[in-house]
Amino acid sequence: MNKQQLVEAVSLLANTSKADTTKVLDALVPVITDTLKNGDEVRLHGLGTLKVKLRKGRTGRNPRTGQPIEIAAKKVVVISVFPSLEDAVNA
């Protein structure tokens, strides 16, 4: 599902205009981004929790040459899905 399809589905379900739904979705991304940047987590009822974790640095291998390379530590966004969503998908 792309953004246009999401806007259409949400606007039908919420009985709002596509323009208003687009504004809300466009505002949602920077709010979530800023929240995660500040080290907080985002809980979306019925969906899951978004949070930032630190992935440790490690030694990897260059697939072309086989030479070892150092992969730096970095922050990654992870989502923990609520059991209700997992159950709905598997039903």
The per-residue pLDDT for 66 is: 92
CB within 8 A of 44, min separation 6: which ones?
50
pLDDT-derived band at 65, boundaries 50, 70, 90: very high
Measured between alpha carbons, how far is residue 35 from residues 41, 55, 82, 90 in Å? 7, 19, 20, 30
Residue 13: how many CA atoms within 13 Å on its side-chain side?
7
The per-residue pLDDT for range 4-14, each reduced to its tens digit, is: 999 999 999 99
The per-residue pLDDT for 46 is: 87
* DSSP labels, 36-73: HHTT--EEETTTEEEEEEEEPPEEEE-TTT--EEEEPP
pTM listed for this prediction = 0.76
